[in-house]
Amino acid sequence: MNEQTLLIHSSPSPIALVHPALTLQVHTVRRTRLIATLGPATESLDAIRSLVHAGADTFRLNMSHASHEWAREISARVREAATDAPRARTVGLLFDLQGPSIRTGTLPQPFELNEGDKVEFRHSGSDPALPYSTTVNYTSMVSDVSVGDTLLVDNGSMIMKIEGVTNDRITCEVQTAGQLGSRRHINLPGVRLNLPALTEKDRADIEVATECGADFIAGSFVRDADHVNELRAHIQQAGGHAQLIAKLEDQEAIKHLDDIIHASDLIMVARGDLGIEVHIEELPIIQRRIVKRCHNLGRRVIVATHLLESMIESPTPTRAEITDCANAVYEEADALMVSGETSVGKHPQRCLEILDRVARRIERSGGLGYASSADLRTTRQQAVRAAVQLADSIQDAIMVVFTRTGTTANQTALLRPRSPIYAFTPETTVCRGLALSRGVRPFVMPFREMPRDTIAEAVATLRNRRDVPEGTPLVIFSDTFQIDHAVNSILLDQM
């Protein structure tokens, strides 16, 4: 190795979708991470392995529909499937909590409702006063809503207007016909709800997630930083190491956007409920605002929901879906997440393969460049930027980062370098926690007492496990080289 110590020391087309063989395959490292939700269609070990090989970087377990026994079994299968990942790729595990959702009660049979019908939602134990009557699981709803508010049922498939509120029920008029079944989700756009941050089910699910060694835990319906802090405290109390994802799903969360971003490890643009809670024409603007603010404030961001919804049934996505996925990649989101497409869909592997192809192609065309306006307040962040600028100025350079906590690797990724990032850490949990960091390929490797030995072992790892040609320039960043204290160092080396 010829090492130079630098002076910085401080403290697709429609045809292509149907006929993949007709497209030009470019073998590049995909930067955008992919999250696949597991379910009945993909719960077997073979199915999970196929998704790993198709490009899944992290697997999501939706605890709204999962038993604890199922979660334990699937978590073990994810870990087993990860041992067979191509090029030793790291695979993460995400538990997505149900959160404090409002749901209707159980009905003997669904109601077929027409425009103008009256429906009541009452407390459990109250007697029905109308033919169309069901209970709700949130008794304080009568205190939160007002006459004239809009009530949406089943993800917006039915629209109702609140006409009356008493101490134990609300009465609504149906504005769009539809079917009201059991345990349907209720949204109240623009209404400040006094729901708890965590339910008893969430607390029990966190215990199971900790037992299974979850790398990420997502909190649903996060409304402010206090909710994030309560969730984090419970994860720590349970003994978990999982990073915390705040799902933004209503207008209240958007009002407290900066506070939530600062309090969280990652942010998820959960467009399902969010698209119901806000005016639909505002959703693309809100998505872009969230992504941009995460780049500014230094947090990873996930874009989720309805990316390839039609592929639950169809083997090919709509052109609008492809454009939506491409837009999220162009915004340089850290990760894209699919839900029903892989949990219950008919084409889960093909779905990920298409996401992989779209991401690779759009990444070659550049991005919006929000990272250029990142708020870099610390000396370390500024040193990381210097390393990124150096790597980007050298043709074919790659970045090598040594990190004990993952922070330095994340800061590097958040500046969106053109160069690939290879991160080395001695901790397995830290390595898996980097599975949702854009452009980062993490490895577990013990750090030697002598920095040169650590660098030599990392270079050997890249030679043995990656297609990194001899002579490739390496820009190495580390804050771990000094034994007694951290010193930020940038080194220029080559393979």
Long-range contacts of 44-48 (CB under 8 A, 24+ apart): 44/77, 45/77, 45/80, 45/81, 47/348, 48/74, 48/77, 48/78, 48/81
Q: Is 302 helix (H, G, I), strand (E, B) or coil?
A: strand
C-alpha 351: how far from its chain's center? 17
Strand 473-478 relative to strand 488-494: parallel, antiparallel, unpaired? antiparallel
Q: What b/e readout covers 104-137, taking b as 16+ CB neighbours within 10 angstroms?
A: beebeeebebeeebbbbbbbeeeeeeeebbbbbb
CA 213/CA 44 separation, integer angstroms? 20
Classify 328 in phi/psi space as left (phi over 0), alpha (psi -120 to 50) or beta. alpha
CB 84 within 8 A of CB 93: no
Rounded distance between C-alpha atoms, residue 215 and residue 94, angstroms: 6
Sheet arrangement for strand 150-153: 102-103, 185-187, 150-153, 158-165, 169-174, 118-122, 133-135
Task: Return left, alpha or beta for 466; rule: phi > 0 is left, psi -120 to 50 is alpha, else beta.
Answer: beta
Alpha carbon distance, N-terminus to C-terminus of the chain: 7
Q: CB–CB of 224/256 below 8 Å?
A: yes
- Would the CA dihedral through 42, 46, 52, 57 be positive or negative? positive
SS3 assignment, position 439: coil
Distance from C-alpha of 137 to C-alpha of 84, rounded to nearest angstrom: 44
Q: What residues are annotated to the active site?
A: 60, 103, 247, 305
CB 419 within 8 A of CB 438: no
